[in-house]
Structure 1
């Protein structure tokens, strides 16, 4: 089981939605995503994850690759 941590932050005020495409990094497996700041599981995703982050805000998530 692989664990990776990411900090997601928007680049411009008019783009509050952030896409993190694991598939662009070669990962097409199902993953579990956890918000480390709010200590909440965000669900299971395959190929990528998206969230809305306010401008000048950040989201700190952990991605755990699930074994199928």
Structure 2
């Protein structure tokens, strides 16, 4: 019984973390698509807006709240 509770706790914790990561990836992808529509894509303020950087900590002008882009 105790093992079942531990398993469920771990399972739902991992599911929650995966959901947050997936949502953030979707939001970052949407922002990158939006950036691609800009006439001046080489703006130095947006230079770190890449798929290999962290949207919450590296992207200028992007703020995150509870793991989601705000």
TM, length-normalised to structure 1: 0.24
TM, length-normalised to structure 2: 0.24
Which structure: larger Rg?
A: 2
Higher relative contact order (CA 8 A, sep 6+): 1
